[in-house]
Amino acid sequence: MTTPAARALAALALDPGGLGGLCLRARFGPAREMFETALARLPGEARRIHPAISDTQLFGGLNIAASLAEGRPIADPGLIDTPCRLILTMAERTSPGLAARLSRILDQRTGHSLIALDEGTGPEERLPDALTDRLAFHIEPEEGRGSPIMLPAPADLDDARARLAQVITPDDTLPALTALAARFGIDSLRAPLFALRAARALAALDDCPEVTDDHLREAAELVYPSRATQIPQEPEPEPEQPEQSPPDDTDREGEDQSAPDIPEDILVQAIAALLPADILERTAKRNRAAASGSGAGNRRAGNRRGRPLPSRPGRPDAQARIDTVATLRAAAPWQTLRRTEANAHRAIIIHPGDIRLKRFEDRSDRLLIFAVDASGSAAVARLNEAKGAVELMLAQAYARRDQVALIAFRGDRADELLPPTRSLVQAKRQLASLPGGGGTPLAAGLVAATELAGHAAGRGLTPMLVLLTDGRANIPLSGEPGRKAALEDAEAVAAGLYARGITGVLIDTSNRPAEQARNIAARLGARYIALPRADARGISTAVSAALDS
Amino acid sequence: MGGRQAARPAWTEYMKTAFPFSAIVGQDDMKQALILTAIDPGLGGVLVFGDRGTGKSTAVRALAALLPPIRQIAGCPVNSADAADIPDWAEVADRDMVERPTPVVDLPLGVTEDRVTGALDIERALTRGEKAFEPGLLARANRGYLYIDEVNLLEDHIVDLLLDVAQSGTNAVEREGLSIRHPARFVLVGSGNPEEGELRPQLLDRFGLSVEVGSPTDIDERIEVIRRRDAFETDYDTFMAHWQAEDTQIRDAILAARAALRQTDAPESILRDCAQLALSLGTDGLRGELTLLRAARALAAYEGAAAVDRDHLARVAPLALAHRLRRDPLDEAGSGARVNRAVADVLQ
């Protein structure tokens, strides 16, 4: 039996440039081993790369040692020079910069394809979206399972590749695929294009002269599920009917914009069955990853600590350290010239312009976690003011280099409404509508804040808490209403936060400031501010003042 | 580093197989902005911001293929039109004029300063022990376009360098006892996704026009996008033959507009409107209203109008002003809508 992974790999072997590549998301285990075994059997050249690959390796560059020995410049070829399958290991650690470079290689259609082996565990650890979008297939095998991936013989693949250009695509295939993508909320136009090309490759593999409905379905099943952002609702009569589809069939209510022979509902159901169970959650988290994983804003290039970056020219001073090797490399090509000019016979002549300084990437930005009590009648107003404050803080964040996240707690749970971000655009999009009402699970809110803070600290951010509440907790962690237990739980979690060294501010939003909130603030070790009619600007000012003091 | 890899085709050669500009479906603002800078390069470039897969890169690359050719002295490293402009360090043997496509130079992420500004020619130093200057990307972009994809991911020190050169129009290199200066007048075109990091206000302001793009929401439009893309990839020759005729029409219109630009009149009342718009939006400095006027004039010339009218002004106002507004995070509508409100108020 051929698995989706096998079909995807075979299709990719036929049309590597057109399909871009494949992302396998699996921890190291049997499934991944089977995949790698199959990968090794694919014809064509493959090169393994890793997220820390340098530009010289990717794009080529001057080989200093060889150039000096030969007395003429010798260039090292880069991976971009020969079409090959790039296998990116530990793809979840790919930086946005590398993703942009790899995207460019894929966009140039030089015959490269990319196999990303993503071992990420949490939603934050994944291949950057810019790259994911350019890979046709995404495969996420079940944990711990591994079955051999059966690929066609290389000769069969060659035959199929020769047939690919002759495969006929019926006129209605493209409209059907596009409409289908729209119903699953897939915004990027690359998805239907990939599905179309995948359908052709599958037809060529099966030695069919034209793309059939089965190929169409299979292609959609391979390309769409991982990109879906919504589960299709009941089909509504769509006004837009593609001009190209045959106008003859009259009884196709509710299934317009699909291939005439295969009702759209069947297609939709087939794909819906393959959607990840946690699709909605994933969509939310994907946005989070986009916001924080990008990291373009939250890294800081310093010259003392952090992850090493390529060195650059500069003058050494008390702050900077010289990169000796890079300096020597910079000076090496000019030695002949300088010896002649200076008429000197020193072993090596270094000029100030050669000096390269070490640079490091450092992350020490602050993450402001807004934990907002969304319970009771004042919830909506309070949330809206908190949202305003978040946006105001973000507007200033460029100068302050802060990130902001927002957690709302109500009923029996806490929701992370805005994952850590510096992007005002993200914040606006995600905070468009806010739920409110219900009990006050203060402890759950603090637990969520603790988790988020731990995560942020792990990524080198300095978390700080801004808690907006009246302190009148009535839902403990167990979920069973009870004022006493609720307060005890909240105080215990607050003490835990304090123990972790997370500082912050508690803004008491109740009309009559009461003892409870003050107690929580004391447990948190947080500054207590009573702001009965807290508005966005008031909150933002108070928070800025409290955090800067 | 620097030196020899400067001549590597992967970085430098512009894609010969650009998607035809006229075949891009929708995205009218983006196309409009790109055409306006082609008519008046003094507008100061375009910034294209938007989601993935919306054809930002495609449009900019398509523009390269569309632009009218320039005349320059053969072999001049800075594409000089006039013998007097050839820098003294360049060894240009004869003074033959050649016609060539408008240069569009890609600035790759992770580029080194040497590659941008130019540096000593490493080959000459190694083989002949001579000092010679090897020009960088800024020299090649002179009289053309400098394109930065993912401009918001570019390293800060390169951004600073670019801003400085874009401002002065001159690139200066001091190294190994060489002191090199050459003209570097280019139109900056940047593209990026705001969710991957915001752009410094100083850089934002350097771009004359800004556009936000999104995926088309209409199913038929989406189908047409993919249909054309697929035809481009699978049936290249037929596709290009069809669209190149349309591209030629746009190119001719751009050429006609360039010629007409000087004669296109901007009446006193329009100048007043520009100032009024900028005032009511509180844009900093005069750059906004100046760009607004130039963009409106370019649009008028493109449409064959004798003078700029309020309609031209209203249509280019969001392009020229939206990115210059102070951000008001509590305003839901976004800056484009604010400009349109102001346009409605001021121009009635």
Determine which of A174, A177, A189, A355 to mutate to test the interface with B (most B C-beta atoms within 10 Å): A189
State the DSSP code for B212.
E
Same domain, B191 and B293: no
Residue A300 lies in a domain: no
Q: Which of A67, A96, A395 sits opposite B153 (nearest CB)?
A: A96
Residue B16 lies in a domain: yes
Residue B233 lies in a domain: no
Same domain, A426 and A512: yes
Same domain, A392 and A527: yes
Choice among A16-25, A343-352, B247-256 with the minimum mean pLDDT? A343-352
Confidence of residue A202 (pLDDT cuts 50, 70, 90): very high
Same domain, A518 and A378: yes
In this structure, the number of other CB atoms found within 10 A of the CB of residue B265 comes to 12
> How many structural domains comprise chain B?
2
Same domain, B11 and B98: yes
pLDDT score at B302 = 95
Q: Which of B53, B125, B195 sits opposite A425 (nearest CB)?
A: B195
> How many structural domains comprise chain A?
4
Q: Which of B15, B126, B152 sits opposite A72 (nearest CB)?
A: B126
Closest CA to B194 of B186, B204, B184, B185: B204
Choice among A48-57, A244-253, A411-420 with the minimum mean pLDDT? A244-253
Same domain, A518 and A397: yes
Same domain, A463 and A522: yes
Same domain, B173 and B270: no
Residue A157 lies in a domain: no
Confidence of residue A242 (pLDDT cuts 50, 70, 90): very low
Q: Which of A360, A385, A418 is the last residue of a domain?
A: A360
Residue A59 lies in a domain: yes
Q: Which of A340, A394, A426 sits opposite B329 (nearest CB)?
A: A394
Q: Which residues of A touch B153 (CB under 8 A)?
A: 96-97, 100, 296
Q: Which residues of A touch B24 (CB under 8 A)?
A: none
Whether the per-residue pLDDT at A392 is higher than 50: the answer is yes
Mean pLDDT of A393-407: 72
Q: Nearest chain B Cα to A242, which residue?
A: B220
Whether the per-residue pLDDT at A484 is higher than 80: the answer is yes
Same domain, B64 and B200: yes
pLDDT tens for A266-312 read 777 777 777 766 665 555 444 433 333 333 333 444 444 555 666 77
More confident residue, A501 or A528: A528
Catalytic residue among B124, B175, B222, B287: B287
User: How far is A297 from A310, CA to CA, in rounded Å?
Assistant: 18
Mean pLDDT of A28-47: 86
Same domain, B56 and B189: yes
**What's the angle, vertex CA A542, arms to CA A541 and CA A546, rounded to 5?**
120
Residue B232 lies in a domain: no
CATH of the domain at A272: 1.10.8.80
Determine which of B54, B56, B195, B325 to mutate to test the interface with A (most A C-beta atoms within 10 Å): B195
More confident residue, B218 or B110: B218
Q: Which of A336, A360, A384 is the last residue of a domain?
A: A360
Confidence of residue A148 (pLDDT cuts 50, 70, 90): confident
Q: Domain containing B184: what range?
A: 3-213
Same domain, B83 and B168: yes
Residue B144 lies in a domain: yes
Q: Among the ranges A190-204, A255-269, B190-204, which has the highest mean pLDDT value?
A: A190-204
pLDDT tens for B155-187 read 777 887 887 888 788 998 886 677 888 999 888
Residue A298 lies in a domain: no
Choice among A2-6, A249-253, A259-263, B56-60 with the minimum mean pLDDT? A249-253
Share above pLDDT 90 across residues of chain B, in percent, rounded to a whole number: 18
User: How far is A462 from A192, CA to CA, in rounded Å?
Assistant: 42
Same domain, A281 and A325: no
pLDDT score at A299 = 46
Same domain, A478 and A376: yes
Q: Among the ranges A52-66, A154-168, A247-261, A454-468, which has the highest mean pLDDT value?
A: A154-168
pLDDT score at B7 = 35
Residue A24's H or E segment, with its range, is strand A21-25
- DSSP string covering A29-65: SHHHHHHHHHHHHSSS-EEEE-TT--HHHHH-EE-HH
CB within 8 Å of A545: residues ≥ 6 apart: none
pLDDT score at A291 = 34
For residue A462, which amino acid is it?
T
Same domain, B169 and B300: no
Residue A322 lies in a domain: yes
Q: Which residues of B touch A237 (CB under 8 A)?
A: none
* Contact status, residue B48 vs residue B191, Cβ threshold 8 Å: yes
Determine which of B52, B160, B176 to mutate to test the interface with A (most A C-beta atoms within 10 Å): B52
Whether the per-residue pLDDT at A108 is higher than 90: the answer is no
Residue A487 lies in a domain: yes
- Are A18 and B233 inside 8 Å of each other by CB? yes
Confidence of residue A333 (pLDDT cuts 50, 70, 90): confident
- Are A422 and B225 inside 8 Å of each other by CB? no
Choice among A346-350, A456-460, B116-120 with the minimum mean pLDDT? A456-460
Residue A250 lies in a domain: no
More confident residue, A303 or A359: A359
Same domain, A229 and A261: yes
Mean pLDDT of B15-38: 85
pLDDT tens for B315-338 read 999 999 888 876 554 454 567 778
User: How far is B249 from B251, CA to CA, in rounded Å?
Assistant: 5
- Are B122 and A391 inside 8 Å of each other by CB? no
Q: Which residues of A touch B123 (CB under 8 A)?
A: 72-73
pLDDT tens for A165-176 read 889 989 888 888
Whether the per-residue pLDDT at B46 is higher than 60: the answer is yes
Q: Which of B193, B213, B233 is the last residue of a domain?
A: B213
pLDDT tens for A5-37 read 889 999 999 988 889 999 998 888 888 888 888
Same domain, B64 and B138: yes
ipTM of the complex as predicted? 0.77
Same domain, A105 and A21: yes
Whether the per-residue pLDDT at A497 is higher than 70: the answer is yes
Same domain, B44 and B170: yes
Residue B245 lies in a domain: no
For residue A435, which amino acid is it?
P
State the DSSP code for A322.
B
Residue B227 lies in a domain: no
The SS3 call for residue A284 is: helix
Whether the per-residue pLDDT at A418 is higher than 90: the answer is no
Q: Domain containing A323: what range?
A: 310-360
| Annotated catalytic residue B287 | yes
pLDDT score at B307 = 92
Q: Residue A501: left (phi > 0), alpha (psi -120 to 50), or beta?
A: left
Q: Which of B147, B178, B213 is the last residue of a domain?
A: B213
Same domain, A384 and A478: yes
Same domain, B295 and B153: no
- Are B200 and A188 inside 8 Å of each other by CB? no
Question: How many residue pairs from chains A and B have C-beta atoms closer than 8 A?
Answer: 183
> Which pTM does this prediction carry?
0.69
CATH of the domain at A474: 3.40.50.410
- Are A189 and B233 inside 8 Å of each other by CB? no
Q: Which of B54, B175, B196 sits opposite A353 (nearest CB)?
A: B175
More confident residue, B292 or A325: B292
Mean pLDDT of B208-230: 88
pLDDT score at A198 = 94
Same domain, A93 and A202: no
Please provide residue A415's backbone torsions phi and psi, each rounded to the nearest 5 degrees: -120, 140
Same domain, A141 and A170: no
Residue A304 lies in a domain: no
CATH of the domain at B119: 3.40.50.300
For residue A518, which amino acid is it?
R
pLDDT score at B260 = 93
Confidence of residue B196 (pLDDT cuts 50, 70, 90): low
CA dihedral A121, A124, A128, A133 (to 10 degrees): 80
Please provide residue B283's backbone torsions phi and psi, each rounded to the nearest 5 degrees: -75, 145
Whether the per-residue pLDDT at B95 is higher than 50: the answer is yes
Q: Nearest chain A Cα to B333, which residue?
A: A428
